[in-house]
Structure 1
Amino acid sequence: MLRTLAFLTAMTAVGASAAPAQFVERSVDVAGRTYRYQVFVPADITPHPAVVLFLHGSGERGNDNLKPLSQGLPPWLKQHTDFPAVVVIPQAPDNTEWTDKADADMAMAALEKSVMEFHGDRKRLYLTGLSMGGYGSWQLAADHPGTFAAAAIICGGVTQLGDDEDRQLFVQGVPAGSDPFAWVAQKVGALPVWIFHGGDDNVVPTEQSRKMHAALVARKAEVKYSEFPGVNHGSWQKAYATPTLWDWMFAHHR
């Protein structure tokens, strides 16, 4: 009997250790609308894992719940299945921005539902995004101070690009007449941030990140800035491959 029990215990342990990392589909209802999102679930998920919220760029918008897996952090995760955190990957609908209140609320709702489902550690919630998702990351960091333990923001910005009035791609809520970068820095407060940008970005000007970095430095915030010389807009590949990024991020707890 004891030998049988030991065998079953060993098989259970082997089965548990063999659990693969995977992406799973989920949905969340916000303001009467259902949104689908993806969650990266690490292999051998630990009790109370860290949880990362990832915001994609404008090219991954839609409702297929697949395009957000094609750029940025998700492809990196496919090559690094030993990543130790749950990653929440919402999808912004077509013709919307992460800085829109509806999209921002949806992203936070997907994060909250995932924290509840996977029993995430609320002291280890992290934020990252690229391009439009970089803008959205600044928006969420400003609107939800004290929620995230650290953030990595890639080729994002704060102010409007060009004269396209149909695009609301700028941090919302900045008072008229205020310096938007100083205002965001004040709202972000004590959140540790690592900013990344390509030195030759012709989509979101590198100056957006330089100014945001300077505003945080002026407040003596914990901020790092990495600029990749000669790199255009796709700086997320180098950013997510930065060897010390995740050790830095996960060293921070609220």
Structure 2
Amino acid sequence: MLRTFAFLTAAMVAGAASAAPAQFAERTVDVHGKTYRYQVFIPADIKPHPAVVLFLHGSGERGRDNQKQMSQGLPPWLKEHMDFPAVVVIPQAPDDTEWTDEADANMALAALEKSVQEFHGDRKRLYLTGLSMGGYGSWQLAVDYPDKFAAAAIICGGITALPDPEGRNLFVHGVPDGKDPFEWAAQKIGKTPVWIFHGGDDNVVPTEQSRKMNAALVKRGAEVKYSEFPGVNHGSWMKAYATPDLWDWMFQHHR
């Protein structure tokens, strides 16, 4: 009896010691002859068929260092919540590009696909989120791949071009001439559930972008939630990712 107890105790200690802690890891993906670096959050003691989240950063985090994209939005939140249960794919857009560019979108999807394969992710539980430029990119992916993601959380993004020169390529591509861009995007997105977040005093991406997108989705009878933070400027992602029931809402949706 004592010998059996000792064996079980040793086995439990060995199992605890071998359990992998949650971590961020660097990865690379090749797309059309170019190599891109990205980060991936790996949950502790990862189980088979985890949910996988794709996060798209804002314009200030572009580059090739594979570090800047860790400084804003979801990655800092994850560092404070290392018990997060899903794999998170965190690509980095090169300088002077936009997530709405086809090349950047393809790179992000390639990083997502490689992560799904590496961690045997559940293809019925793929989720999308992004902020600012990444919010625009999230709308683009939701429009172009309406059957891919189980749900999306889109923060201070938009559909139409910004009025300043910095927004020269930052708009959702593919809107036919003469079509209302918000109604068209809502129709293309189809049944993908979306939770939209925006600061009420955003002077970078006008709050009206999210208000119009929410109205268009409501008009179509889509599953949509809208949270506007009064008095908050562009950095609404801090409040968005701190929303208590965000992830419960996201993860209750399956394809």
Equivalent position amino acid for 2:17 in 1? G
Residue aligning to 2:235: 234
Are 2:16 and 1:14 equivalent residues in the alignment? Answer: yes
Partner of 2:217: 216
C-alpha displacement at 1:53, in angstroms? 0.2
Paired amino acid for 1:10: M
The question of whether the paired residues in 1 share the 8 Å contact of 2:161 and 2:167 is answered with no
Aligned residue identity for 1:119: H
Q: Which residue of 1 aligns with 2:198?
A: 197
- Summarize the alignment of residues 59-208 of structure 1 with structure 2, pairs less than 5 Å apart: 59-162=60-163, 164=165, 167-208=168-209
Secondary structure at the aligned position of 2:165 is classed as: coil
CA distance in 2, matches of 1:75, 1:127: 17
Name the Cα RMSD after superposition: 1.5
Large movers: runs of 4+ above 4 Å: 1-5
* CA–CA separation in structure 2 for the residues paired with 1:162 and 1:16: 54
Corresponding letter in the other structure for 2:46? I
Give the alignment's TM-score, normalised by structure 1.
0.96
Q: CA deviation at 1:43?
A: 1.1
SS in 2 for 1:96: coil
Q: What is the Cα deviation at residue 164 of structure 1?
A: 2.6
Report the number of matched residues. Answer: 253
Q: Which amino acid aligns with 1:111?
A: L
Which structure 1 segments of 5+ residues have no match?
Answer: none
Contact 2:182–2:212, Cα closer than 8 Å, also in 1? yes
Deviation at 1:7, TM superposition (A): 5.1
Aligned to 1:58: 59
Q: Measure, in 2, the Cα distance between the counterparts of 1:163 and 1:57.
A: 16
Residue 8 of structure 1: how far off its partner (Å): 5.0
Write out per-residue CA displacement over residues 46-101 of structure 1, whole angstroms, 9 at most, x where no aligned residue. Answer: 11100000000000000000000000000000000111100000000000000000
Give the letter aligned to residue 252 of structure 1: H
For normalisation by structure 2, the TM-score amounts to: 0.96
One-letter amino acid of the counterpart of residue 12, structure 2: A
Amino acid at match of 2:15: A
Work out the CA distance in 1 between the residues paired with 2:107 and 2:153.
Answer: 20
Cα distance in 1 between the residues matched to 2:150 and 2:14: 35
